Amino acid sequence: MTSGKDQSASSFPLPPGSWLGMLGGGQLGRMFCHAAQRLGYRVAVLDPAQDSPAGAVADLHIRAAYDDAEGIRQLAQRCPAVTTEFENVPASTLEQLAAEGVAVSPGAFAVAIVQDRTKEKAFIRSAGVPVAPYAPVFEKNDIAIASQSLFPGILKAARLGYDGKGQVRVATREEAMQAWDDLKTEACVLEAFAPLDYEISVVIARGRDGQAVTYDAARNEHRDGILAVSTVDPDALEPGLQERASRLAKELARELDYCGVMCVECFVLTDGSLLVNEIAPRPHNSGHHTIDSCGSSQFDQQVRTMAGLPLGCTQTLRPSVMLNLLGDLWFENGVQREPDWAGVLRVPQAHLHLYGKTEPRLGRKMGHITITGDTLAQAQERAAQAAGALGLVYQP
């Protein structure tokens, strides 16, 4: 076995057979493993769980905490390039790997910014990219003196919030102060509600040489703070929207000196203007459709950026609808049962992806279905059929 230090001293691109490292064992890591192995790479996953989705399919599972010195050393010795599948990996771990000569993507600087909403909002604004009006909250008195224009709004924990967790809608200052007490956190962001029309997201891949490509924007529908449906059809976007969203994503990636795949989530306001909501420094749930509807998937791009390969084609080959599958589908009247997968697979161009999680739980992401068609209307009709087989609520 060639060590990571030996290989990182050589020039990119890394040849097939090289080891790529993944921090995190969830479904994003699992889909990364599939993409990397298809291109001939071997993958080492560092994750503390015994039965993680990515660890189950990786060539090597290093079972260790993300800040475990010995686990990090093992990963660094084996892998010349390492990435992450979620933003809450300690930035210090990425710094340690980089100090060992590992090519880390994304870098610690970018991850440290997006791990903290107060830093993230300030960074986006400093880059000249519009965000919703907000105020950082470090103590309860910051809410007492906040501008009245921030109400009604939403109080968001600065760290560790995802899928609607750590967020409280607040109509008044008094509700915000109570929410601060309930969240029991050290820092928050108080953000005003914007006149929202709908939400989109743009996935971008940026290589070590600064070259960047974006996918067509996905129009997203959330339920209880969790992404439920993503719809992609470039012909259905308002004129100029894709160009504006792509430009914002590229500006942010450049300012972050980003290498890898990231997602920029945006609000489209009723007047047609764009606000950036947040950045995810990894592949994104709304980009899962790329596996079945684009020339190269977001996970292919993650491999390419790590290995120093040319970026792939992001063209949308056919319109698509992506339906998230939560653990709720496994329960009917409180009794656990298996969803009707045969009914789903009877639908033409319905692509089922299950993540290998052994225990379904309410609100837990268990898989997704991407339904494609020659037209958006056809994809939506098929999506309604697949949703009906599972008892999912879906209305185009």
Q: Do the beta carbons of residue 266 and residue 201 sit within 8 Å?
A: yes
Q: Is position 166 annotated in a ligand binding site?
A: yes
pLDDT > 80? residue 391:
yes
Instruction: Report pLDDT for 5.
Output: 42
Structural domains of the chain sorted by starting position, each given as residue range(s) with its CATH number in brackets:
4-104 (3.40.50.20), 133-192 (3.30.1490.20), 196-388 (3.30.470.20)
- 40 annotated binding-site participant: no
Q: Residue 161, annotated ligand binder?
A: yes
Rounded to the nearest 5°, which phi and psi values hold at 279?
-115, 135
Interval 141-148 mean pLDDT: 96
pLDDT for 42 equals 98
The whole-number pLDDT of residue 164 equals: 63
**pLDDT, position 225:** 87
Q: What is the pLDDT of residue 2?
A: 38
pLDDT recorded at residue 377: 98
pLDDT band at 163 (very low <50, low <70, confident <90, very high): low
120 labelled as ligand-binding?
no
Q: Does the annotation list 163 as a binding residue? A: yes
**Is 284 annotated as ligand-binding?**
no
Question: Helix, strand, or coil here: 185?
Answer: coil
Residue 6 banded pLDDT, cuts 50, 70, 90:
very low
Question: Would you tell me how many other CB atoms lie within 10 Å of the CB of residue 44?
Answer: 22
- Residue 164 labeled ligand binder: yes
Instruction: Give the three-state DSSP class for 235.
Output: helix
Based on the number of CB atoms within 10 Å of its own CB, is 210 exposed (0-12), middle (13-18) or buried (19 or more)? exposed
Looking at the predicted structure, is the pLDDT value of residue 7 above 90? no
| Range of weakest confidence among 10-19, 108-117, 327-336 | 10-19
Res. 160: pLDDT tops 90 = no
Q: What is the mean pLDDT of the chain?
A: 94
Count the helices and strands in the chain (H runs, E runs).
Answer: 13, 20
pLDDT of residue 258: 97
Q: What is the pTM of this model?
A: 0.94
Among the listed residues 104, 79, 78, the one whose alpha carbon sits nearest the alpha carbon of residue 93: 104
> Per residue in 80-118, pLDDT tens?
999 999 988 999 999 999 999 999 999 999 999 999 999
Peptide bond into 106 cis (omega under 30): yes
* Residue 390 contacts residue 343 (beta carbons within 8 Å): yes
Is residue 184 part of an annotated ligand binding site? no
Q: What is the pLDDT of residue 130?
A: 96
Is 174 annotated in a binding site? The answer is no
Percent of the chain exceeding pLDDT 90 equals 92
* Least confident segment among 164-168, 224-228, 372-376: 164-168
